[in-house]
């Protein structure tokens, strides 16, 4: 294993551990904090893969905005604490399905790419991403901005109290 692979494995263990605690934690606020840890570890993995723009977008949007939004959701809904209140009765079936998914995806990835060439870690410039975003991918970009506008209006309409 190369140095990069050791670092990747360390970050991966942190991310997977935080994700496991997120789906098993009995306290919803702790779950949100474990989500922060998992998302930050994934951002560090983007940095390791030399995709710095995606890494900082991850930190800004996910760790900065989405987690705060989720915490607001938790606070506004008075979430209870305890295993029975947070988990349903399908834990065993869910664990079996998740293990099956992990085994299937892991085997596919290993089987298809085991002997292939490794990832060369070349720095990808933010300028190149911006150029492609506004030339090749300009239509999807506009569609996504329209989707954000629709989501904004939809969220306001949904969460507004009805005036009598």
Partner 1 sequence: MIRLPLVLIFSGALFAIGVYGVLARRNAVLVLMSIELMLNAVNVNLVAFSQWLRDGLVAGQVFALFVITVAAAEVGIGLAIVILIFRNRETINVDEVNLLRW
CB atoms within 10 A of CB 22: 17
| Footprint (CB under 8 A) of partner 1, residues 95-134 | 95, 97-99, 101-102, 104-106, 108-110, 113-114, 116-122, 124, 128-129, 132-133
Per CB under 8 A, does 33 bind partner 1? no
* DSSP 3-state of 82: coil
Neighbours of 29 (CB within 10 A): 13
Strand, coil or helix: what is 79?
A: coil
Using CB under 8 A, which residues numbered 34 to 73 contact partner 1? 35, 38-39, 42, 45-46, 48-51, 53-54, 57-58, 61-62, 65-66, 69-70, 72-73
Give the span between the Cα atoms of 45 and 67, in whole angstroms: 19
Q: What is the distance between the terminal CA atoms of the chain, rounded to a whole angstrom?
A: 66
- Report if residue 30 touches partner 1, rule: CB under 8 A: no
* Using rule CB under 8 A, residue 29 touches partner 1: no
Q: Residue 2 or 163: which CB sits closer to partner 1?
A: 2
Under rule CB under 8 A, residue 138 binds partner 1: no
Both tokens of residue 79?
A: 């979430």
Contact between 8 and partner 1 by CB under 8 A: the answer reads: yes
The answer for residues whose C-beta is within 8 angstroms of residue 30's C-beta and 6 or more apart is 21
Among 10, 30, 140, 142, binds partner 1 (CB under 8 A): 140
């Amino acid at each position: 294993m190369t140095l990069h692979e050791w670092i990747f494995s360390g970050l991966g263990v942190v991310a997977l551990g935080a994700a496991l605690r997120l789906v098993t934690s009995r306290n919803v606020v702790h779950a949100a904090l474990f989500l922060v840890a998992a998302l930050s570890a994934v951002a560090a993995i983007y940095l390791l893969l030399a995709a710095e723009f995606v890494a900082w977008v991850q930190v800004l949007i996910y760790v900065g905005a989405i987690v705060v939004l989720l915490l607001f959701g938790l606070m506004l809904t008075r979430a209870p604490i305890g295993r029975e209140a947070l988990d349903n009765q399908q834990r065993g079936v869910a664990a079996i399905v998740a293990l099956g998914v992990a085994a299937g995806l892991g085997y596919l990835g290993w089987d298809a790419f085991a002997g292939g060439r490794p990832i060369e870690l070349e720095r990808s410039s933010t300028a190149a991403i911006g150029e492609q975003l506004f030339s090749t991918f300009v239509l999807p970009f506009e569609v996504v901005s329209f989707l954000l506008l629709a989501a904004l209006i939809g969220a306001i309409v949904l969460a507004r109290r009805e005036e009598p």
